């Protein structure tokens, strides 16, 4: 019996929100208590499990091609001092982002695919410094032609299996190109047709269905051959206007949900929760993981990635709210 089954309704919400407020708890601890454990957890800024003690990512410096791992400081945030010393007077790129979950679904530089045949390059490791809970860290700042993936994963949803995906991204750095995605994609780097992907997307590219209300940027689902703000045009999916954004997509048999919110405060909004678009049911997810690109290596989008996770199972609303509250409590930008 999962922790979620042992609690009901408001009791679960109160319990999970209590976890979220604790300095010792991170998003994947919340999902674990929800019975929807993380099967992938990636970040350049902080640990996503309270017990994680490994490295966050690997940088390569241009001057001599040497590499080093960037781990955690004593507070559970990225050890930027090590990076600053290693990358002094030269340029560094991020070449690997470690999976913090036990599944070891690490993200590597993406190979070429059906849309762009050449391999992608890594993001500039020192392009975008910021503070989070008083700790100086760096984002993964995508400027086009940059992307990461893992085509041989473990534990990631396939077919019509349920999953939940979230990321924290920048609400100020985006475009209308394809596709700033994080999540489940093709294992062969090709466009294999409708329903083979399930990624959270952020940007102002109009979806194949006409997109959301207003001019964006929107939280949408990339389901392959379509960015979807709902099952059709969805005027209720309006722009998330914030410096830092929490973005979520959750998939279940027959339906999916989209959520978004200001990662510095406020509540999580449900932007859509309903049936799949026509011709996307059942889903045919393949289980690769991508970041910053489309499933066929469409790599023209820009965006910023701070953290994200993929779960096994369709998370509860209480868990979603608690994860968002934990992100807010992390104090992005402070």
Q: Read off φ and ψ for residue 324, nearest 5 degrees.
A: -60, -40
How close are the terminal C-alpha atoms of the chain, in Å? 39
Q: What is the DSSP string of 176-206?
A: SSS--EEEEE-SSSS---TTS-EEEEEE-PP
Q: Which of 186, 296, 307, 320 is catalytic?
A: 296
Distance CA 84, CA 81 (A): 5
* Coil/strand/helix, residue 322: helix
Distance CA 257, CA 48 (A): 23
* Coil/strand/helix, residue 57: strand
Distance CA 217, CA 304 (A): 13
Q: Does 224 participate in catalysis according to the annotation?
A: yes
What is the largest distance, in Å, between two alpha-carbon atoms of the chain? Answer: 57
The strand pairing partners of 98, in sequence order, are none
Contact 68, 92 (CB under 8 A): no
Q: Which of 79, 222, 224, 307 is catalytic?
A: 224
CA-based R_g, the chain, Å: 18
Catalytic positions are 224, 296
């Amino acid at each position: 019996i999962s922790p979620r089954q042992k609690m009901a309704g408001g009791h679960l919400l109160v319990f999970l929100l209590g976890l979220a407020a604790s300095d010792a708890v991170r998003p994947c601890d919340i999902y674990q208590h929800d019975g929807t454990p993380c099967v992938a957890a990636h970040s350049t800024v902080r640990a996503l499990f309270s017990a994680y003690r490994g490295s966050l990512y690997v940088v390569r410096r241009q001057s001599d091609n040497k590499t080093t791992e960037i781990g955690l400081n004593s507070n559970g945030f990225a050890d930027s001092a090590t990076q600053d010393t290693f990358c002094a007077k030269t340029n560094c790129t991020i070449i690997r982002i470690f999976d913090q979950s036990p599944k070891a679904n690490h993200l590597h530089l993406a190979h070429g695919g059906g849309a762009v045949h050449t391999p992608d390059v890594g993001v500039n490791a020192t392009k975008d410094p910021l503070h989070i809970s008083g700790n100086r860290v760096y984002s993964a700042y995508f400027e086009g032609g940059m992307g990461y993936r893992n085509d041989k994963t473990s534990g990631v949803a396939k077919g019509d299996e349920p999953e939940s995906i979230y990321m924290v991204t920048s609400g100020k750095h985006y475009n209308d190109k394809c596709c700033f995605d994080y999540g489940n994609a093709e294992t062969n780097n090709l466009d294999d047709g409708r329903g083979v992907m399930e990624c959270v997307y952020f940007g102002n590219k109009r979806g194949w269905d006409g997109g959301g209300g207003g001019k964006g940027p929107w939280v949408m689902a990339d389901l392959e051959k379509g960015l979807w703000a709902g099952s059709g045009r969805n005027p209720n999916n309006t722009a998330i206007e914030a410096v830092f954004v929490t973005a979520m997509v959750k998939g279940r048999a027959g339906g999916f949900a989209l959520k978004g919110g200001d990662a510095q405060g406020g509540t999580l909004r449900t932007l859509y929760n309903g049936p799949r678009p026509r011709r996307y049911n059942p889903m045919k997810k393949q289980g690769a993981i991508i970041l910053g690109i489309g499933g066929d290596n469409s790599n023209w989008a820009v965006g910023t990635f701070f953290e994200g996770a993929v779960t096994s199972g369709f998370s509860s609303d209480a868990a979603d709210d608690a994860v968002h509250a934990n992100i807010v409590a992390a104090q992005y930008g402070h």
